[in-house]
Protein backbone atom coordinates (compact mmCIF):
# COMPACT_ATOMS: atom_id res chain seq x y z
CA UNK A 1 0.00 0.00 0.00
CA UNK A 2 1.36 3.41 -0.99
CA UNK A 3 1.02 5.95 1.80
CA UNK A 4 -0.56 9.29 0.91
CA UNK A 5 1.20 12.41 2.14
CA UNK A 6 -0.39 14.77 4.64
CA UNK A 7 -0.94 18.44 3.87
CA UNK A 8 1.46 20.79 5.63
CA UNK A 9 -0.22 24.04 4.57
CA UNK A 10 -3.26 25.32 2.71
CA UNK A 11 -1.02 25.96 -0.30
CA UNK A 12 -0.58 22.21 -0.72
CA UNK A 13 -4.31 21.60 -1.20
CA UNK A 14 -4.77 20.51 -4.83
CA UNK A 15 -6.74 22.98 -6.99
CA UNK A 16 -8.69 20.21 -8.73
CA UNK A 17 -12.15 19.38 -7.37
CA UNK A 18 -13.70 15.92 -7.37
CA UNK A 19 -16.95 17.30 -5.94
CA UNK A 20 -17.82 19.93 -8.50
CA UNK A 21 -20.59 22.24 -9.70
CA UNK A 22 -24.08 20.98 -10.54
CA UNK A 23 -25.31 20.23 -7.05
CA UNK A 24 -28.45 21.60 -5.42
CA UNK A 25 -27.35 21.93 -1.82
CA UNK A 26 -28.46 24.89 0.29
CA UNK A 27 -26.27 27.99 0.47
CA UNK A 28 -23.69 27.48 3.19
CA UNK A 29 -24.30 23.72 3.35
CA UNK A 30 -21.76 22.25 5.78
CA UNK A 31 -21.81 18.70 4.35
CA UNK A 32 -21.17 20.11 0.84
CA UNK A 33 -18.11 22.03 2.04
CA UNK A 34 -17.00 18.91 3.86
CA UNK A 35 -17.50 16.74 0.78
CA UNK A 36 -15.28 19.08 -1.23
CA UNK A 37 -12.46 19.00 1.33
CA UNK A 38 -12.71 15.24 1.86
CA UNK A 39 -12.65 14.43 -1.85
CA UNK A 40 -9.61 16.68 -2.35
CA UNK A 41 -7.83 14.86 0.48
CA UNK A 42 -8.71 11.41 -0.83
CA UNK A 43 -7.75 12.10 -4.44
CA UNK A 44 -8.90 10.70 -7.78
CA UNK A 45 -8.58 6.98 -7.04
CA UNK A 46 -11.66 7.00 -4.84
CA UNK A 47 -15.11 5.45 -4.90
CA UNK A 48 -17.70 7.31 -2.85
CA UNK A 49 -20.76 5.56 -1.45
CA UNK A 50 -23.74 7.71 -0.58
CA UNK A 51 -26.54 6.28 1.54
CA UNK A 52 -29.84 8.11 1.21
CA UNK A 53 -29.70 11.45 2.98
CA UNK A 54 -29.17 15.15 2.33
CA UNK A 55 -26.16 14.62 0.13
CA UNK A 56 -28.00 12.07 -1.96
CA UNK A 57 -31.15 14.13 -2.41
CA UNK A 58 -29.27 17.34 -3.14
CA UNK A 59 -26.61 15.84 -5.37
CA UNK A 60 -28.00 12.95 -7.35
CA UNK A 61 -31.66 12.43 -6.65
CA UNK A 62 -33.25 14.11 -9.65
CA UNK A 63 -32.56 15.01 -13.25
CA UNK A 64 -29.74 12.42 -13.48
CA UNK A 65 -27.13 15.06 -12.68
CA UNK A 66 -24.06 14.46 -10.57
CA UNK A 67 -21.38 16.74 -9.12
CA UNK A 68 -18.94 13.85 -8.66
CA UNK A 69 -15.97 13.46 -10.98
CA UNK A 70 -15.03 10.16 -9.32
CA UNK A 71 -17.21 7.02 -9.10
CA UNK A 72 -20.19 7.43 -6.77
CA UNK A 73 -22.68 4.78 -5.72
CA UNK A 74 -26.02 5.26 -3.99
CA UNK A 75 -27.29 2.84 -1.34
CA UNK A 76 -30.42 2.63 0.73
CA UNK A 77 -30.43 4.59 3.98
CA UNK A 78 -29.13 1.74 6.10
CA UNK A 79 -26.98 0.10 3.44
CA UNK A 80 -23.73 2.07 3.52
CA UNK A 81 -21.85 -0.36 5.74
CA UNK A 82 -22.66 -3.46 3.71
CA UNK A 83 -22.18 -1.77 0.33
CA UNK A 84 -18.69 -0.64 1.31
CA UNK A 85 -17.71 -4.16 2.36
CA UNK A 86 -19.07 -5.53 -0.89
CA UNK A 87 -17.14 -3.07 -3.04
CA UNK A 88 -13.91 -3.51 -1.06
CA UNK A 89 -14.29 -7.29 -1.29
CA UNK A 90 -14.97 -7.21 -5.03
CA UNK A 91 -11.91 -5.06 -5.68
CA UNK A 92 -9.70 -7.37 -3.60
CA UNK A 93 -11.03 -10.47 -5.36
CA UNK A 94 -10.57 -9.03 -8.85
CA UNK A 95 -6.99 -8.06 -8.04
CA UNK A 96 -6.18 -11.45 -6.48
CA UNK A 97 -7.54 -13.24 -9.55
CA UNK A 98 -5.55 -11.02 -11.86
CA UNK A 99 -8.64 -9.58 -13.46
CA UNK A 100 -7.71 -6.08 -12.36
CA UNK A 101 -4.29 -4.51 -11.89
CA UNK A 102 -3.23 -4.17 -8.25
CA UNK A 103 -3.71 -0.60 -7.06
CA UNK A 104 -4.80 1.37 -4.02
CA UNK A 105 -8.45 2.36 -4.31
CA UNK A 106 -10.17 4.31 -1.57
CA UNK A 107 -13.71 3.25 -0.64
CA UNK A 108 -15.38 6.04 1.33
CA UNK A 109 -18.90 6.00 2.70
CA UNK A 110 -20.33 9.49 3.20
CA UNK A 111 -23.32 8.84 5.43
CA UNK A 112 -25.31 11.28 7.53
CA UNK A 113 -26.23 10.77 11.16
CA UNK A 114 -29.46 9.06 10.08
CA UNK A 115 -27.57 6.66 7.82
CA UNK A 116 -24.67 5.94 10.17
CA UNK A 117 -25.73 6.72 13.75
CA UNK A 118 -29.32 5.50 13.53
CA UNK A 119 -30.58 3.28 10.72
CA UNK A 120 -27.20 2.13 9.41
CA UNK A 121 -25.33 1.79 12.71
CA UNK A 122 -25.28 -2.02 12.52
CA UNK A 123 -23.76 -1.91 9.02
CA UNK A 124 -21.10 0.52 10.21
CA UNK A 125 -20.28 -1.78 13.12
CA UNK A 126 -20.07 -4.79 10.82
CA UNK A 127 -17.73 -2.96 8.43
CA UNK A 128 -15.32 -2.23 11.27
CA UNK A 129 -14.93 -5.95 11.98
CA UNK A 130 -13.28 -6.64 8.59
CA UNK A 131 -9.69 -6.01 7.48
CA UNK A 132 -10.13 -4.05 4.26
CA UNK A 133 -7.55 -1.36 3.73
CA UNK A 134 -8.52 2.13 2.57
CA UNK A 135 -12.09 1.65 3.75
CA UNK A 136 -13.30 4.80 5.46
CA UNK A 137 -16.69 5.56 6.98
CA UNK A 138 -17.43 9.26 7.40
CA UNK A 139 -20.40 10.20 9.52
CA UNK A 140 -21.32 13.70 8.38
CA UNK A 141 -23.31 14.81 11.37
CA UNK A 142 -25.71 17.72 10.87
CA UNK A 143 -27.64 16.57 13.92
CA UNK A 144 -30.98 15.71 12.35
CA UNK A 145 -32.93 14.41 9.37
CA UNK A 146 -32.64 17.66 7.47
CA UNK A 147 -33.86 16.78 3.96
CA UNK A 148 -37.12 15.25 5.23
CA UNK A 149 -38.15 18.15 7.44
CA UNK A 150 -35.62 18.59 10.28
CA UNK A 151 -36.63 15.66 12.45
CA UNK A 152 -34.50 14.71 15.46
CA UNK A 153 -31.89 11.96 15.21
CA UNK A 154 -29.91 10.27 17.96
CA UNK A 155 -27.16 12.88 17.47
CA UNK A 156 -29.45 15.90 17.92
CA UNK A 157 -28.08 17.83 20.90
CA UNK A 158 -29.88 18.32 24.17
CA UNK A 159 -32.09 21.41 24.11
CA UNK A 160 -32.46 21.69 20.33
CA UNK A 161 -35.90 22.21 18.83
CA UNK A 162 -36.78 20.05 15.82
CA UNK A 163 -40.06 19.04 14.23
CA UNK A 164 -39.99 15.86 16.34
CA UNK A 165 -38.89 17.67 19.49
CA UNK A 166 -40.55 21.07 19.22
CA UNK A 167 -40.17 23.52 22.06
CA UNK A 168 -43.60 24.34 23.46
CA UNK A 169 -45.81 24.48 26.54
CA UNK A 170 -45.56 20.74 27.27
CA UNK A 171 -41.81 20.42 26.66
CA UNK A 172 -40.29 23.91 26.67
CA UNK A 173 -36.75 22.50 26.43
CA UNK A 174 -37.19 20.78 23.06
CA UNK A 175 -35.01 17.69 22.73
CA UNK A 176 -34.36 16.09 26.12
CA UNK A 177 -32.19 13.22 24.89
CA UNK A 178 -28.41 13.41 24.98
CA UNK A 179 -26.36 13.29 21.79
CA UNK A 180 -24.98 9.89 20.77
CA UNK A 181 -21.18 9.80 20.40
CA UNK A 182 -20.60 7.66 17.30
CA UNK A 183 -16.82 7.98 17.48
CA UNK A 184 -16.75 6.41 20.95
CA UNK A 185 -18.90 3.53 19.68
CA UNK A 186 -16.51 3.03 16.77
CA UNK A 187 -13.53 3.12 19.11
CA UNK A 188 -14.93 0.17 21.05
CA UNK A 189 -14.35 -2.17 18.08
CA UNK A 190 -11.24 -4.26 18.78
CA UNK A 191 -9.65 -4.15 15.32
CA UNK A 192 -10.44 -0.62 14.24
CA UNK A 193 -7.26 1.12 13.08
CA UNK A 194 -8.27 4.74 13.21
CA UNK A 195 -11.11 6.76 14.71
CA UNK A 196 -11.32 10.54 14.75
CA UNK A 197 -13.64 13.49 15.13
CA UNK A 198 -13.50 16.55 12.89
CA UNK A 199 -15.43 19.54 11.65
CA UNK A 200 -14.90 22.20 8.97
CA UNK A 201 -12.42 24.10 11.13
CA UNK A 202 -9.53 23.89 10.88
CA UNK A 203 -9.77 22.53 7.33
CA UNK A 204 -6.34 20.87 7.34
CA UNK A 205 -7.32 18.93 10.47
CA UNK A 206 -10.23 17.38 8.56
CA UNK A 207 -8.21 16.73 5.40
CA UNK A 208 -5.21 15.20 7.18
CA UNK A 209 -7.49 12.95 9.22
CA UNK A 210 -8.89 11.63 5.94
CA UNK A 211 -5.33 10.90 4.80
CA UNK A 212 -4.41 9.21 8.10
CA UNK A 213 -7.58 7.13 8.02
CA UNK A 214 -6.87 5.89 4.49
CA UNK A 215 -3.23 5.18 5.40
CA UNK A 216 -4.16 3.34 8.60
CA UNK A 217 -4.20 -0.13 7.08
CA UNK A 218 -7.76 -1.06 7.96
CA UNK A 219 -11.33 0.17 8.29
CA UNK A 220 -11.60 3.59 9.91
CA UNK A 221 -14.18 6.13 11.02
CA UNK A 222 -14.35 9.92 11.11
CA UNK A 223 -17.29 11.48 12.94
CA UNK A 224 -17.53 15.00 11.48
CA UNK A 225 -19.79 17.81 12.68
CA UNK A 226 -21.06 19.76 9.66
CA UNK A 227 -23.44 22.68 10.39
CA UNK A 228 -26.75 22.85 8.51
CA UNK A 229 -28.20 26.36 7.91
CA UNK A 230 -31.65 24.92 7.17
CA UNK A 231 -32.00 22.75 10.26
CA UNK A 232 -30.00 24.91 12.63
CA UNK A 233 -31.73 28.12 11.53
CA UNK A 234 -28.44 29.88 10.90
CA UNK A 235 -27.02 32.26 8.33
CA UNK A 236 -25.27 30.49 5.42
CA UNK A 237 -22.35 32.84 6.02
CA UNK A 238 -21.82 31.43 9.52
CA UNK A 239 -21.23 27.76 8.65
CA UNK A 240 -17.45 27.73 9.11
CA UNK A 241 -17.68 30.16 12.04
CA UNK A 242 -20.08 27.76 13.78
CA UNK A 243 -17.62 24.91 13.21
CA UNK A 244 -14.91 26.99 14.85
CA UNK A 245 -17.13 28.01 17.77
CA UNK A 246 -18.18 24.39 18.33
CA UNK A 247 -14.51 23.60 18.93
CA UNK A 248 -13.65 26.75 20.89
CA UNK A 249 -16.59 26.31 23.27
CA UNK A 250 -15.72 22.65 23.82
CA UNK A 251 -19.08 21.57 22.47
CA UNK A 252 -17.26 19.51 19.81
CA UNK A 253 -14.02 17.82 20.81
CA UNK A 254 -11.32 17.16 18.22
CA UNK A 255 -9.54 13.87 18.96
CA UNK A 256 -8.21 10.79 17.24
CA UNK A 257 -7.44 7.23 18.23
CA UNK A 258 -4.55 5.64 16.31
CA UNK A 259 -4.08 1.92 16.96
CA UNK A 260 -5.66 2.42 20.39
CA UNK A 261 -3.60 5.49 21.32
CA UNK A 262 -5.66 8.56 22.17
CA UNK A 263 -4.63 12.04 21.08
CA UNK A 264 -6.44 15.29 21.84
CA UNK A 265 -6.02 17.56 18.80
CA UNK A 266 -7.21 20.86 20.26
CA UNK A 267 -7.72 22.14 23.77
CA UNK A 268 -9.59 25.50 23.94
CA UNK A 269 -7.72 27.80 26.28
CA UNK A 270 -9.60 29.57 27.63
CA UNK A 271 -12.73 27.71 26.64
CA UNK A 272 -15.47 30.06 25.45
CA UNK A 273 -18.92 29.87 27.05
CA UNK A 274 -21.27 27.70 24.99
CA UNK A 275 -23.61 30.71 24.72
CA UNK A 276 -21.39 32.08 21.94
CA UNK A 277 -22.07 28.94 19.89
CA UNK A 278 -25.77 28.61 20.70
CA UNK A 279 -26.69 32.27 20.21
CA UNK A 280 -26.13 32.06 16.44
CA UNK A 281 -28.60 29.18 16.08
CA UNK A 282 -32.37 29.53 15.95
CA UNK A 283 -32.90 25.97 17.18
CA UNK A 284 -31.66 27.03 20.65
CA UNK A 285 -33.38 30.41 20.76
CA UNK A 286 -36.02 29.18 23.25
CA UNK A 287 -33.47 28.19 25.89
CA UNK A 288 -33.36 30.17 29.11
CA UNK A 289 -30.14 31.39 30.69
CA UNK A 290 -30.25 28.57 33.26
CA UNK A 291 -30.60 25.98 30.45
CA UNK A 292 -27.55 27.39 28.66
CA UNK A 293 -25.56 27.48 31.89
CA UNK A 294 -26.54 23.85 32.54
CA UNK A 295 -25.26 22.89 29.10
CA UNK A 296 -22.01 24.73 29.70
CA UNK A 297 -21.60 22.92 33.00
CA UNK A 298 -22.14 19.55 31.28
CA UNK A 299 -19.40 20.45 28.78
CA UNK A 300 -17.04 21.45 31.58
CA UNK A 301 -17.64 18.16 33.42
CA UNK A 302 -17.09 16.14 30.26
CA UNK A 303 -13.81 17.89 29.55
CA UNK A 304 -12.33 16.40 32.72
CA UNK A 305 -12.43 13.03 30.96
CA UNK A 306 -11.00 14.35 27.69
CA UNK A 307 -8.07 15.89 29.54
CA UNK A 308 -7.55 12.69 31.51
CA UNK A 309 -7.67 10.66 28.28
CA UNK A 310 -5.03 12.93 26.78
CA UNK A 311 -2.85 12.57 29.86
CA UNK A 312 -3.06 8.76 29.83
CA UNK A 313 -3.12 8.47 26.00
CA UNK A 314 -6.06 6.11 26.18
CA UNK A 315 -9.80 6.63 26.02
CA UNK A 316 -11.62 7.12 29.30
CA UNK A 317 -15.35 7.13 28.78
CA UNK A 318 -17.00 10.35 29.93
CA UNK A 319 -20.41 8.72 30.41
All domains of the chain in start order, with CATH: 13-312 (3.40.50.970)
End-to-end CA gap in the chain: 38
Check residue 66 and give its pLDDT: 81
Full-model pTM: 0.97
Q: Residue 62's pLDDT is what?
A: 66
Question: Could you tell me if 69 and 62 are in contact, meaning their C-beta atoms sit under 8 angstroms apart?
Answer: no
3-state helix, strand, coil in the chain (%, to 5): 40, 15, 45
User: In what helix (H) or strand (E) does residue 73 lie, and over which residues does it extend?
Assistant: strand 72-75
Q: Give every residue of the chain whose pLDDT is below 50, as ranges.
A: none
| Closest by CA position to 114, among listed 66, 83, 149 | 149
219: cis peptide before it, omega within 30°? Answer: no
Q: What are phi and psi of 49, to 5 degrees?
A: -120, 125
Burial class (CB in 10 A: 0-12, 13-18, 19+), 160: buried
Q: What is the DSSP letter of 177?
A: S
Distance CA 123, CA 54 (A): 19
pLDDT score at 37: 97
- Using an 8 Å Cβ cutoff, are 67 and 22 in contact? yes
Best CA proximity match to 225, nearest among 182, 193, 286, 175: 182
Helices 203-215 and 30-42: angle between axes, nearest 10 degrees? 50
Amino acid sequence: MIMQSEFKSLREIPPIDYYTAGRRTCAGCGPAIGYRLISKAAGPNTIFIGPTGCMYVANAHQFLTSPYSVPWHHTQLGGGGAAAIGIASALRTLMLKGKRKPEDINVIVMGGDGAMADIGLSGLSMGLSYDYQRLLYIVYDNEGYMNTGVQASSTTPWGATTTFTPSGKVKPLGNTRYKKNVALIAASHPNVKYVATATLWPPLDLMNKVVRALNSGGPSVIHALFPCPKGWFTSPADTVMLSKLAVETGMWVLWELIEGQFKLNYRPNPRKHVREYLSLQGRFRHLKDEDIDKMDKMIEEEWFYWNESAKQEKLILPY
